[in-house]
Homo-oligomer: A and B are copies of this chain.
């Protein structure tokens, strides 16, 4: 099996095992998936070097840091100001992530806040940014499906070979 740069079934098994116990040692993982320690170590190294694992920051819960409120702000931007607006958003600590959406002038901004007042302030800050034409703030009331990847991993384990 020539490794194509994409995660294969065995990698998916490892990731799934890690999902269940992120602190598992290489030895434990090896036993879990029925491979030698050497192999597991090599695969983990490959996964990391390939960039299949993104920053640890994603695992940090903003609520634990004192930011229990989450909101998504849709921002409509003056066409030519996109870069400047992105830079301005990057400077706001409460902005966790910004997606550029199809439509080219719409941004989806993921923000967190300490409380309602705080959120109001941040939303105002976004709206006041030069190049921002309009914003719509939607507060997250509850998480109906928590972020998960397991179903796709399980599919990768079963499906196995025919990627794409």
**In chain B, what residue has the closest Cβ to A6?**
B66
Q: Contacts of A98 on B, CB cut-off 8 Å?
A: 143-145
Known: A53-B61, A56-B22, A60-B15. A100 touches B149 (CB 8 A): no
For chain A, the count of residues having a C-beta within 8 Å of the partner chain is 70
Partner of A64, one of B50, B95, B146, B150: B50
**In chain B, what residue has the closest Cβ to A64?**
B52
Copies of this chain, tallied across the complex: 2
Q: Nearest Cβ distance between residue A124 and chain B, in whole angstroms?
A: 17
Alpha-carbon distance A163/B114, docked complex (angstroms): 9
Q: Contacts of A101 on B, CB cut-off 8 Å?
A: 72, 138-141
Q: Is the CB of A35 closer than 8 A to any CB of chain B?
A: no
Mask for A14-29, Cβ within 8 A of B = 1, else 0?
0100110010000000
Q: Is the CB of A99 closer than 8 A to any CB of chain B?
A: yes
Partner of A140, one of B57, B99, B147: B99
Give chain A interface residues in 38-86, CB to chain B under 8 Å. Answer: 47, 50-62, 64-67, 70, 72, 82, 86
Q: Contacts of A151 on B, CB cut-off 8 Å?
A: 93
Q: Is the CB of A130 closer than 8 A to any CB of chain B?
A: no
Q: Contacts of A148 on B, CB cut-off 8 Å?
A: 55, 57, 96-97
Partner of A59, one of B58, B108, B110, B141: B58
- Does B56 contact A153, Cβ atoms closer than 8 Å? no
Q: Is the CB of A128 closer than 8 A to any CB of chain B?
A: no
Known: A56-B59, A145-B97. A65 touches B140 (CB 8 A): no
Q: Is the CB of A156 closer than 8 A to any CB of chain B?
A: yes
